[in-house]
Chain A
Amino acid sequence: MNDVTDGLNASQRRAVVETEGHLLVAAGPGTGKTMTIVRRCAHLLGQGVGPEEILAVTFTNRAAREMRERMRAFLGPEAARVFVATLHLLGLKIMRAAGAAVRLCTRDEQVRFLRSVTGSSRAAQLAAERISRVKNLLEAPDAETARLVEAYQGLLQAQGLCDFDDLIAIPARMLETGRVPAAYAGRFQHIIVDEYQDISPVQQKLLGQLVGGGARICAVGDPDQAIYAFRGADVRNFLFFGKAFPGAGTVALKENYRSTGMIVKAACSVVGNNRQRIEKELCAVREEGTPIVVRSVPDERAEAETVVLEIEARMGPSSHFMLDRAKTSVDFSERSCSFADFAVLYRTNAQARAFREAFTERGIPFQVVGGKGPFGGRALIEELRGQLDTLPDHQGMDAFWRGLREKGSFPDEDWGFLRNLALAYQDLSPRDALAEVINELMLFTTADVFDARAEAVALMTLHAAKGLEFKCVFVAGVEEGLIPFTFAAEGSDIEEERRLFFVGMTRARDELFLLHARRRFLYGRQGSGLPSPFLAEIPRQLMRQERVADGVKKKGGTQMGLFS
């Protein structure tokens, strides 16, 4: 094992070695948070703490996987005995250890239960969100919501099911009433929690129970990146950490190793306008870099086109066709870009469409992180499943598929692909082929399943971008109404929206593009067409403003004038 504090800066070192009591680590973006957590574990092991006595909590399964890999790389096989997981996974294990048979209901089942109570699908979705918040915030609900919760829980119990939030609430209650399974009683001496700014009250309650017997907790997070209030998270848990865990020390990680100076300064200028935060000066270790490009485009199609052009400009020509059209002699210099270096971030999944179309047209590999899969997602699968049982089997392949197409509602882009998928199984009966096709589609729709061998431009919401970083980031739709988002049925919190924007900006290592469209059609209506007020919060000297003029697209649709 290497020396634990090797190469760490002063604040990181403090965060690693101060293990006597509770500790709050305010870690800005790109400050080496994961490394610090891994080193802290290493330090604890070095102090004689057993690996089973350490609990490292992450926000997502993906983050848990990454953390485990980095621990193994630094600590060796011993690392496997450290408990690294999301709180939901921990809750599940506690419940199982206590002998409870845990059957998790799916989102669809959840919505189906609620539809029977509320009447419509839309109301069911809203109800699901509201119930989740109630369970997470531990607030007493109003009478109407209380009735809803009761009906819902009743339905769950009748089916022997529990939902995602129950995975926290139930173990928290168990531990509170002293029903601790042996495997977990007083087990954890040290608990490290990542993304603490997005902890919900019920999650804090569970942690509080675990800390109860003298364990020490180290909470790592960034109040400026708290973006899950709508799911019941409460940034005040972070801000008032000392109240829940008396005697806690605090450390701030301020050196950003990820982004260029301009990006760091610009992002800090924006988030500095929030009031509910801890003042900390985040500073860049890297060079100044280039200004942030703020580009006004005519509409969402042009927005996608401009991204395509920028990617092609950096990747070099991706085909002989593009090569022939290059106006100047093509640069033969050494490039080291990959499509995986680029990300397009947007506020809502609905905005992905224009990019998917533009990338598809130009043959740029991309992957959509989260949201619907490229083939209509769950809805498509459910539809196919439904049809599977109703169509007669004795028809030939063609008649079968024609019948399927007539009965279902499949977008054109999906349909061609479905047919080809089916061809791979043409030796089977049409029904068996369809069953196989459905199996294939299920692989496409799970957000975590990406072919690791692929290098593709990442498309995702600002929320999904948490924890990731890319060489070149495009934030799309930086417009009034989208960023900050005001389409939500329930009121939006401008400070949370600003934090979300801060997260987006700080994903970029070398280059950041902020795009806003003068015309946009979203959710059945026209967008504001106005640039986001957050753009005015970026100092002018850190940005370069550009404007793509209307209708400059030449025939053949490639070159567009970049300057009006």
Chain B
Amino acid sequence: MPEGIWKWAQLKGITVVGTGDFTHPAWFKELTEKLEPSGNGLFQLKRAYRSGEGVPVSCRAEVFFLLSVEISCIYRKNGRTRKVHCLILVPDLGSAAKLSLALSRIGNIVSDGRPILGLDARELLKITLDVSPDALLIPAHAWTPHFSVFGAASGFDSMEECFDDLTTHIYAIETGLSSDPPMNWRLSALDRVSLVSNSDAHSPAKIGREANLFGTDIAYGAIIGAVKTRRAFLGTVEFFPEEGKYHYDGHRQCSVSCSPRETVGHHYLCPACGKRLTIGVAHRVELLSDRNEGFRPGAALPFRSAVPLTEILAEVGGVGGASKMVQDEYMRLLAVLGNEFSILLEVPLADIERAASPLAAEAIGRMRRGKVHVRPGYDGEYGRIKIFENGERAERGGQGRLL
């Protein structure tokens, strides 16, 4: 429900949030009923649907919605099956309806979940451009092995192979949870596009694992302009890509995980059983990159890596992330200190120490400095980010309200 997104956007500290799924008739109906244009290509929740419940005063803020949808294109091109997800942004309901109409002629857009169309991504781009000159198509989570423009299983080796003559109309790619800017900086071909950081969310509580920071007016045109030109595009907040299920290479059945270099050393075979290793995102980047790790292009934008606050609190308290203690502590801290992004990135550590605990402040401090322990995911096995070494937490006395 849009109300749920509105509430969580405030808790997270998000000013502009994508509506998602505007081609779905039922969701579109929700949007037209509950949102109203705010006169800048964005939308706001109608007063009648706003409820003060659940949002502490410290987090209250205006939330704007941007019409967005993610389309799955599954088609054959140059003799291979391709699966590419694309994010499309539009400035108004008329354009949204026009896009839905055009896509409904091609395939089915009423099923739950992302619309899957047997449509070449280049054709989708053409349709988007025809719908509105202000619409924007962004290849989604550009590096996931399946379903992305550079995906190892069913993607392409270059943007041009996918979008042909229309490649110049691609102004940005979405790094997604599976990649961060440094990985993308290794491809010189990507210097000309912006790296936007968004994430899918399957529930309102999970929005904002990543975000983009703009210094523009809050308006559709200004935001799109910033994405296209990088002027007033201040940077991004990233998820640690190593947490992704396919970051490293490996073989889950044998609990074998390899860095791309190690994989090459093993001749792409599992050292335990000899079967083929499943190749991950890091390896794919390695294969397509033309620069070494650590390169930073001149026009690169700053970024911060973050871990969701509930995960930090869970680690600090030594409990599971979904536990009631963590949820309660989470809401309590928000009420005291303000929205999640501000806690993660800006609130002075001293204030966090006072409101929460020294351990929590230390954890957030380390996260801000990138001093975390990373265990990369592989072959469908999620990775883990830990702030403290094993035993370190207990050593530090674990003082805090969670114990």
Contact = CB atoms under 8 A, between A and B. Distances in A.
A339 B97 contact: no
A365 B123 contact: no
Given A315-B81, A427-B94, A365 B116 contact: yes
B104 A417 contact: yes
Interface string A438-469: 00100110000001011110000000000000
B110 A319 contact: no
Contacts of B147: 319-320
A319 B113 contact: yes
A286 B99 CA distance: 44
B253 A329 contact: yes
Contact of A316 (B81, B94, B106, B379): B81
Interface string B379-397: 1100000000000000000
A485 B41 CA distance: 57
Contacts of B209: none
A269 B334 CA distance: 75
B114 A363 contact: yes
A423 B80 contact: no
B153 interface: yes
Interface stretch (A73-81, A288-296, A354-362, A382-390): A354-362
B80 A335 contact: yes
A64 interface: no
A338 B28 contact: no
Contacts of B118: 338-340, 365, 454-456
Question: Looking at B100, B252, B279, which has the most chain A CB atoms within 10 Å of its CB?
Answer: B100
Given A329-B380, A365-B117, A424-B101, A417 B110 contact: yes
A421 B98 CA distance: 8
B97 A420 contact: yes
Contacts of B251: 329
Given A332-B152, A338-B75, A363-B108, A454 B117 contact: yes
A417 B97 CA distance: 11
Contacts of A321: 113
Interface in A204-259: none
Interface string B82-122: 01000000000110011011001111101111111111100
Nearest to B111: A363
A339 to B, nearest CB: 4
A419 B80 CA distance: 38
A337 B81 contact: yes
A363 to B, nearest CB: 4
A416 B83 contact: no
B201 to A, nearest CB: 13
Nearest to A364: B116
A329 B108 contact: no
Contact of A455 (B25, B72, B75): B75
Interface in B137-157: 145-147, 152-154
Given A338-B81, A340-B118, A419-B25, A454 B110 contact: no
A209 to B, nearest CB: 43
Given A335-B80, A424-B97, A444 B105 contact: yes
Contacts of B80: 334-336
A360 B28 CA distance: 18
A315 B154 CA distance: 11
Contacts of A427: 94
B28 A363 contact: no
B193 interface: no
A421 B101 contact: yes
A151 B106 CA distance: 44
Nearest to A422: B97
B79 interface: yes
Nearest to A453: B123
Nearest to B123: A453
Given A320-B147, A337-B76, A421-B101, 14 more contacts: A315-B74, A318-B74, A332-B152, A339-B74, A359-B108, A361-B111, A361-B112, A363-B72, A365-B116, A417-B110, A419-B29, A420-B101, A427-B94, A455-B118
| Shortest beta-carbon contacts, A-B, top 10 | A455-B118, A338-B76, A424-B97, A365-B107, A365-B118, A363-B111, A363-B116, A416-B25, A335-B81, A423-B97
11 contacts: A338-B118, A340-B76, A361-B111, A363-B114, A364-B116, A365-B106, A416-B110, A417-B25, A423-B97, A426-B97, A453-B119
Interface of B: 25-26, 28-29, 32, 72, 74-76, 79-81, 83, 93-94, 97-98, 100-101, 104-108, 110-120, 123, 145-147, 152-154, 251-253, 278-279, 379-380
